[in-house]
Structure 1
Amino acid sequence: MKQHIIITLFLILGISAFAETRLPSRISEVTVYRSGAKLTNIASVRLTAGSNQIVFEKLPVDMNPNSVQVRIEGKADLLSAFFRRATIELNQPNGSAIKALQDSIETVNDRILRLVAENEVLSKEESSLQENQKRVGAGEKSTLSVNDWKEMTQYYRNRLAEIKNRQLDISFLRRKEDRLMAVMNERLSKLNRRETQTSGEIVLQIESATTQTLNISCIYFITKAYWTPAYDLRAEAVDKPLRMVYKAVVSQQSGFDWQGIKLKLSSARPLSDNNRPILTPQSIDYYVARYQPNLDDGLAAGRANSYNLSQVQTESRRDMAKPSAGPGDLGEVTDEETLEQPEESTSGEEFEITAPQTIVSGTEPQTVRYKEEQMEAIYQYHAVPKLDPGVFLLAKIPNYGRYGLLSGTAQIFFKDTYVGQSEIDTKTVSDTLLLSLGRDEDISIKRVKPTDLAYTPKFLNNYKRELVAYDIVIKNNKKIPINIEVLDQIPVSKQAEITVELEEKSGAQYTADFGKLLWRLEIPAFASKTLRFKYWLKYPKDKTVARP
């Protein structure tokens, strides 16, 4: 029967005198958290009877030593363990390649020496010819016939030309050999260069009663890894469910590639050491407001992965969504719905990727797809013509907490057309998630002043009275009827001397505190609808009113 031993490691000073067995362990499983990751390295080792010193080498140097656990499958006892840093060589000099390159360099050098020697001989011959030519020209010309003189002159000319041509050839060959020599010397320098990297090692002292082969796993936590949620949100039609594709953007800077690992994603923020949490008294007092300056974004970003691991808590499972409001949301969301809740939960959801994954260290973040859901949605068209002359299609997802969403960015597709991005915020207590699916160009809306109303401002005692009116014209160019909500507003007075009196609202729901007008309409296919609202504005005639 296998005995599973899980022992927490503590930093132990000192070096063992036992001979070390170094294990080239393999990363088999990784659980990536929102900040940090838990890695599992496995190796098979041959133990002899007695005490054995085993070294798990080439591990991330940023691991937390207090987070390490060891699992031994077999009958053996772990006597001691400690973590240390070591310098490893990333490349080993290739002796045979170096010897062959050195021989090639020596051959090229011999050819260069021969070219240098030949050039020196040619230079001396050239000097000798020129000296003889001067001597003949000075005193021996009278003893030579014309033909002899011509033959001798032609000989000097031809020979000097041959010498110059050969010297040019030698110069060309020398440059070629010098370039080849430079390339080979650079290659030799690279072969002799030793590249090193600092890595971590876990040193285990294990007592075995017999000679045996068993498996050892080391589990530890590193800080230089994270994942962030991302989504693809696809809607085919307003009468079909939404299809949500869950993705994770994973990054790691451990210094070692994760090749073919079993990958898990966790929304928890782990307590990465193994010390039990201690609950201390918590006091409560009156709140005193204090000025808190804004932190520079760069400083905040720099601290993102710097934390005391024993104090990090997990992400709240009770986090709920903040509705992603359409343009001009005039108080549709209540104060309760926008109240953010503190993250107090100590649990987190975990997602396992079925296919083996490879996450390369130090490169751009890699995207992993881990889940897909069909979501029942209530579709609603939404428009605020005062702010935007467009009609937006919204999807309301009730009771969205059952889908395990986390805050992140969603790429939105409607009828296989990319329409933009939307932020999913799960940190509010609303149980309905509101997503914008973009504009619908088949529905037009405009807000205009009516042309059939002509009203001249009147003066009554010391007050001026004006009528303000607007028409909202909606045209449904679709083949099916639509449900649409339209928002507008009238101003809310902040002065007692200024009064605003709503006269006509075309059936809108009116919220006086906000001055909000809300219409919920059904418009048949290829039909139009005109909404009119108007209000009276009264203010002192000697004052000027700031128009909204």
Structure 2
Amino acid sequence: MKSFLCGLTLLLAGQAWAQGPVITQANLESVTVYSTGVEMNHKAKIAVPAGSSEILINNVANVLDENSIRIGAGANVTIMSVSFTRDYLKQENRTPAYLRVEDSLKSARRGLSRLEAAYNAEQNALKILEKNQAIGGANTGVNVAELAKMVDYNKAKQVELSNNMIAIAEKQAEQQKIVARLEQQLAEESRDRSGAGGQLLVQVMAGSAASSEFNISYISPNAGWTAFYDLRAENTNSNLKILYKANLVQNTGLDWKKVKLTLSTGNPAQSGNAPQLQAWMLRYGSPAYYANQSAYQNRIQAKSSVTRAIEGAAPGIQVETSAAEDRSLSNYTALVENQLSTTFDVELPYDIASNDKPHSVSLKEYSLPVRYKYYAVPKADPDAFLMAEVSQYEKLNLLPGEANIILENMYVGKSYLNPYATTDTLNLSMGRDKKITIKREKVMEQSGVKLLGSTKKQTFTYEIRLRNGKREAVSLLLKDQYPVATDNNMEVELLEASGAEINKETGVLTWKLDLAPGATQTVRISYSVKYPKDKVISNL
């Protein structure tokens, strides 16, 4: 009797497995998007049979980290195992737009093939005609009249065939352009991977049949976001408005429909192991030099905290909210500072297509009191740049990213915001101002070369003329430089600097100028370099 019951149990279990898995769909509820990677959270209502069974959950990401899968179910259900799989027998999802472009491309390629066939037919006819031109020399019985007719026929036919080939070649070129454009559009449409998700095969054990809610979460690498900004200023007397946005891209195979978004500055793939130091072994090698020292030399020198205290501390950061902004998307975003990261919880549900294209998400909007100044390095660029100095910027939780600049309600270009500067003031470039003209010219009569025994002395003199074409006074930070000797046989002497602040280590000269409306000002820099006359300084 006991063996009969065991056999019956095995038979029933085999019948349960033979029935196949329970198939269901997972509903995407929320996502947490990291700079690289996304945590996706689903829910599924599943009728679980009693005993052991398999559940096949569709509508999950096309690629995921299996070690990150977490599934919770009711108290009556025990999760035995979970595995990720793909249904390779299912046809690849193609959107209606993809199918329309694909049909157009097939038709265009057929048209191109027909043109190529027509061109080849005309070309072959021309070759046959050219071979038959020898008939007059091979058949001596052809009289002059027949030969003349044959020449006229060949000539007319050659012209006709050549013209046909030219016309067909022109049509081929146009058709090839159409095919190329359709191929490019098809490649664009193929980026839409919606409907190409994966599956989770879950083995469960249930004490009794019941309907249970499954909570599913995992990490997928096929999503991420970067920060970008709009920098707006009405004029140089107004506050600077920073619209903090996210460029979000996802290619998980699922279109996110009305999901709750959370954006995090953390990295789910970052190792949690604390670093350890190894022995630091010194070795001889070639000296290393900075590839672009001018980037360091021309860097804006931010005011120190001591200087700012003397001049008076800048007012603190304020977040302004006007009546018009109360409909602003940024008011539906909550910023949460965690121990190791910052998250933006977006209350409004979003639709994000799985097409590997950037989607803009508004996060926060700040209105900041700033100091405006102009900055120019005419040796490197002839234009003046408007700069905005922001204090206490670390409170804004900004990330590096591109910024659109809108000045006086006009788009003036792009900049780059880097909040990881080591200074206590963030300098934001607000673009070029053509109303401030700067011209740097070499003064030839005060420049030249002299030979002094075994040495050569070169003198350089430059004049920088500035004009303020604006209706208001401006403060301008002007920079130039003179060379720095790197050898005992070199001797550099600064002859004139027009009152500039001098950094002898870097050779950078700095002028702080105040220009009245319509005013002009001139500064001059002059220096000499003495070195052995049998040497050549390549970068002088």
Output the TM-score relative to the length of structure 1. Answer: 0.61
Checking the alignment, whether the CA contact within 8 Å between 2:57 and 2:200 is kept in structure 1 is yes
Q: How many residues align?
A: 383
Query: In the TM superposition, what is the alpha-carbon distance from 1:455 to its structure 2 partner?
Result: 8.4
Task: Give the counterpart of 2:263 among 262, 265, 281.
Answer: 265
- Secondary structure (helix, strand or coil) at the match of 1:17 reads helix
Query: In the TM superposition, what is the alpha-carbon distance from 1:485 to its structure 2 partner?
Result: 1.0
The question of 1:17 aligning with 2:2 is answered: no
- Letter of the 1:70 partner, please give it: I
Query: In the TM superposition, what is the alpha-carbon distance from 1:55 to its structure 2 partner?
Result: 3.6
- Which residues of 2 match residues 26-425 of structure 1 at below 5 A? 26-46=27-47, 54-72=55-73, 75-87=75-87, 89=90, 199-207=198-206, 213-271=211-269, 282-288=277-283, 329-330=297-298, 332=300, 347-425=340-418
Deviations along 1:130-176, one digit per CA (max 9) or x if unpaired, are: xxxxxxxxxxxxxxxxxxxxxxxxxxxxxxxxxxxxxxxxxxxxxxx
Aligned-partner Cα distance in 1 for 2:417–2:357? 23
Query: In the TM superposition, what is the alpha-carbon distance from 1:381 to its structure 2 partner?
Result: 0.6
Going from structure 1 to structure 2, the CA distance change for 1:500 and 1:406 (only over 3 Å counts) comes to same
Checking the alignment, whether the CA contact within 8 Å between 1:228 and 1:248 is kept in structure 2 is yes
Going from structure 1 to structure 2, the CA distance change for 1:34 and 1:62 (only over 3 Å counts) comes to same
Query: In the TM superposition, what is the alpha-carbon distance from 1:40 to its structure 2 partner?
Result: 0.9
Going from structure 1 to structure 2, the CA distance change for 1:81 and 1:516 (only over 3 Å counts) comes to same
Aligned-partner Cα distance in 2 for 1:279–1:51? 42
Checking the alignment, whether the CA contact within 8 Å between 1:30 and 1:38 is kept in structure 2 is yes
Aligned-partner Cα distance in 1 for 2:500–2:79? 79
- Letter of the 1:374 partner, please give it: S
Checking the alignment, whether the CA contact within 8 Å between 1:448 and 1:472 is kept in structure 2 is yes
The question of 1:484 aligning with 2:472 is answered: no
- Secondary structure (helix, strand or coil) at the match of 1:389 reads coil
Aligned-partner Cα distance in 2 for 1:485–1:280? 43
Aligned-partner Cα distance in 1 for 2:272–2:452? 74
Aligned-partner Cα distance in 1 for 2:378–2:15? 76
Aligned-partner Cα distance in 2 for 1:516–1:280? 39
- Secondary structure (helix, strand or coil) at the match of 1:355 reads strand
- Letter of the 1:330 partner, please give it: N
Deviations along 1:392-422, one digit per CA (max 9) or x if unpaired, are: 1112222322111112211222122222222
- Letter of the 2:496 partner, please give it: E
Deviations along 1:245-299, one digit per CA (max 9) or x if unpaired, are: 2222222222221111111111111159xxx9565864333354789xxxxxxxx
Aligned-partner Cα distance in 1 for 2:407–2:52? 66
Aligned-partner Cα distance in 2 for 1:395–1:15? 74
Checking the alignment, whether the CA contact within 8 Å between 1:384 and 1:486 is kept in structure 2 is yes
1:316 is matched with which residue? Answer: none
Going from structure 1 to structure 2, the CA distance change for 1:376 and 1:290 (only over 3 Å counts) comes to farther
RMSD over equivalenced CA pairs, Å: 3.8
Query: In the TM superposition, what is the alpha-carbon distance from 1:487 to its structure 2 partner?
Result: 0.9
Aligned-partner Cα distance in 1 for 2:40–2:339? 20
- Letter of the 2:278 partner, please give it: S
Deviations along 1:354-409, one digit per CA (max 9) or x if unpaired, are: 22111212342322222222233222211112222211111222232211111221
- Secondary structure (helix, strand or coil) at the match of 2:244 reads strand
- Letter of the 2:474 partner, please give it: I
1:528 is matched with which residue? Answer: 520
Instruction: Name whichever of 243-252 and 45-54 sits farther off.
Output: 45-54
- Letter of the 1:201 partner, please give it: L
Going from structure 1 to structure 2, the CA distance change for 1:289 and 1:432 (only over 3 Å counts) comes to farther
- Secondary structure (helix, strand or coil) at the match of 2:395 reads helix
Query: In the TM superposition, what is the alpha-carbon distance from 1:434 to its structure 2 partner?
Result: 2.0
Checking the alignment, whether the CA contact within 8 Å between 1:30 and 1:39 is kept in structure 2 is yes
Checking the alignment, whether the CA contact within 8 Å between 1:498 and 1:539 is kept in structure 2 is yes
- Secondary structure (helix, strand or coil) at the match of 2:280 reads coil
Checking the alignment, whether the CA contact within 8 Å between 2:467 and 2:521 is kept in structure 1 is yes
Going from structure 1 to structure 2, the CA distance change for 1:77 and 1:279 (only over 3 Å counts) comes to farther
Checking the alignment, whether the CA contact within 8 Å between 2:468 and 2:516 is kept in structure 1 is yes
- Secondary structure (helix, strand or coil) at the match of 2:517 reads coil
Checking the alignment, whether the CA contact within 8 Å between 1:268 and 1:346 is kept in structure 2 is no
1:311 is matched with which residue? Answer: none
Checking the alignment, whether the CA contact within 8 Å between 2:448 and 2:460 is kept in structure 1 is no
Checking the alignment, whether the CA contact within 8 Å between 2:447 and 2:461 is kept in structure 1 is no
Query: In the TM superposition, what is the alpha-carbon distance from 1:516 to its structure 2 partner?
Result: 2.0
- Secondary structure (helix, strand or coil) at the match of 2:67 reads helix
- Secondary structure (helix, strand or coil) at the match of 1:401 reads helix
Checking the alignment, whether the CA contact within 8 Å between 2:35 and 2:267 is kept in structure 1 is yes
Going from structure 1 to structure 2, the CA distance change for 1:462 and 1:58 (only over 3 Å counts) comes to closer
Query: In the TM superposition, what is the alpha-carbon distance from 1:494 to its structure 2 partner?
Result: 4.0
1:313 is matched with which residue? Answer: none
- Letter of the 1:85 partner, please give it: T
Alignment gaps of 5+ in structure 1: 1-13, 93-195, 292-324, 337-344
Task: Give the counterpart of 1:447 among 440, 444, 467.
Answer: 440
Query: Which is greater in Rg?
Result: 1
Checking the alignment, whether the CA contact within 8 Å between 1:54 and 1:206 is kept in structure 2 is no
Alignment gaps of 5+ in structure 2: 1-13, 94-194, 287-292, 305-337
- Secondary structure (helix, strand or coil) at the match of 1:381 reads strand
Query: In the TM superposition, what is the alpha-carbon distance from 1:66 to its structure 2 partner?
Result: 1.8
- Letter of the 2:45 partner, please give it: S
- Letter of the 1:357 partner, please give it: Y
Going from structure 1 to structure 2, the CA distance change for 1:212 and 1:446 (only over 3 Å counts) comes to same
Query: In the TM superposition, what is the alpha-carbon distance from 1:44 to its structure 2 partner?
Result: 2.4
Going from structure 1 to structure 2, the CA distance change for 1:39 and 1:509 (only over 3 Å counts) comes to same
- Letter of the 1:286 partner, please give it: M
- Secondary structure (helix, strand or coil) at the match of 2:17 reads coil
Task: Give the counterpart of 1:518 among 502, 510, 517.
Answer: 510
Checking the alignment, whether the CA contact within 8 Å between 2:86 and 2:198 is kept in structure 1 is yes
Checking the alignment, whether the CA contact within 8 Å between 2:66 and 2:83 is kept in structure 1 is yes
Aligned-partner Cα distance in 2 for 1:502–1:439? 30
- Letter of the 1:480 partner, please give it: E
- Secondary structure (helix, strand or coil) at the match of 2:340 reads coil
Going from structure 1 to structure 2, the CA distance change for 1:287 and 1:374 (only over 3 Å counts) comes to farther
